Chains A and B, each alone.
Chain A
Amino acid sequence: MSTMLSVRDLHAGYGESSVLQGLNFDLQKGEVVCLLGANGAGKTTTMAVLSGLVDASSGGVNYDGQDLLAMASHQRVEAGLSLSPEGRKVFPNLTVEENLVLGSFNASARAGRAARLEEVYTLFPRLAERRAQSAGLMSGGEQQMLALGRAIMAKPRLLLLDEPSLGLAPMIVQAVFEAIRKIAATEITIFLVEQNTHAALSVASRGYVMSAGRIVHAGSAAELRQSPEVRDAFIGGKSARTIREARHA
């Protein structure tokens, strides 16, 4: 297996504050890996740095043999790195179809655009139904599908997904992750940020846990699923409270 992405000692932040304090991890080609952690751990910042929305202050990222940090955002998309951002960020006044077409804006993705559009519509029948509607008028779940579809239109080799379950009802989350599973079945490498650990671990083969800008734990999906301390202490929930109460008892 060859390395798709290799992150070394990555530091980044906003203005004065430093969020990523030396991040290290690898992704192999074709893998589906998840990044877990509590709010404020730096997960979205990680995605932002990888996609180029935010600049790194130090460290290195190797993307399939290339120096990613030296590439401008549009060059990264050109090279096959595509992010479906937190909060969807669809183009509200453009139609569903226009949003998708824009996903394949970069030159290398324009060829085969029509074929890929059909693939997306097959994957997300709801989008096909609503292709002429303004994206801003759709429900959260539909917008998430649209954001995913748009990211796929870029013909990605590394697909970054930031909180796809955010704000969605459980049934919709299921539908969305069903689609992610289908995408995962292809050769695309997927890196998935999620607070919904159950959903994340249902599609990822392994994962990292992040806290205060660093990776603090790594493991296979099975390990992470069965580690109550790690899971609950960093994600929160009933077990965490029990442990704390036990300590004070």
Chain B
Amino acid sequence: MKLDYRSYILACLAAAALSASSAVAQDTIKIGVPMELSGRFVAYGASGKRGAELAAEVYGGKVAGKKIELLHRDIQSESQATISVFNELVNKEKVNYIIGPIASPTVAAAIPAWRQTKPLWIVPGSSSTKLEEEAGSEPEFFHAFPYAYHYHQSVAAALKSQLPTGQKVSLVFSDDNYGRTHQPYAKKYLTEAGFEIVAEEIVRTNAPDMNPLLTKIARSKPNILLGLVQTTDAVTLTKQIYTRKLPVPYLVGTAATQLDEWQKAVGPAQEGWIGVTTYLPGLKRPGNRDYPKLFPPSDEWEAAFIKKYGQEPDFEDAGCYVSAMLLFLAIEKAGGDDKAKVVAELQKLDVKNTLLGDAKFGPTPGGTKNQAFSDVVVFQRQSEKNVMLFPPGPTVGKIKSAVQ
């Protein structure tokens, strides 16, 4: 018996020694953060990086006893660079977790590279339904952002809640991937909500003169104009509508309306434009009672953000903050760097009242297994401030006509 006891202690010591050495060799948890840090979508990527960093800091820098190591990479808003970065993260760094990128074309470019080892992939962006087709059914894929049809369900519901029935809608959409994917959903949900589509005009990206189509639209006397265009086209459309004093009371844009750059570029023309986003300062979300430090009330979080960064947060600051936090929670619950376990925990998570709303990943009718945050906020620019129009709640205001 003495012999057995000693061997037992020796065995324990040996096991302890072995596990200690492996702990030394692997005491960080690597998370890939590929973002558009330059190029066309730099506004999104810069926010994304910031959100993830802030989350790591607030969480305390360590998860499941190990140090959080965020591997930030610049995909330059280019497909080729995205593929190279993903290859590096997946094959060389062998990360188990990736957050990002954000823009639809870059996310699309990453899919084949991601498939090589299929790390846990949280995409806090891309409304493209093609993404759903190609990656949605994979259990390791988590979409933390609405799809185009979610957008338009909410827009239709928002307009319905604020306006009387029988409104006429005119649609302007760009002749590219963005416009062409959004247009059928806009039509479907607006029609279902009781609106009549009276005019539709397609516009080539970088069109120098949208006046002819505006003249044609004016003739059908719509109450609502929905502009499914991006970047420079959004600026041109807004300016030309304002210059000709188009007699359409309700102007709906999509992502551009919330962006600082659009607002600065169009100046007074922004008044009355309605926008759609996942998050906006001033939402006054209550915060989560179980994790008050990680998910404080949105007012508190915004104040802390402004104090630290000197500017207001935008939707990708919040989006990537929340996505990173959820990942950390899942890793904590899984007990460590075990991809399969973390996937399972992330799927099970149910955290109410994060900055983007209730966090629960579930299936969509379109085939995504893990979808969260499909609700969008609809707001209107009134006197250079954001007024919430939807979803209904205590902070919601009244829609205003853009025509004086």
A and B in direct contact, judged by CB atoms within 8 A: no
By a beta-carbon cutoff of 8 Å, the part of chain A in contact with chain B is: none
By a beta-carbon cutoff of 8 Å, the part of chain B in contact with chain A is: none
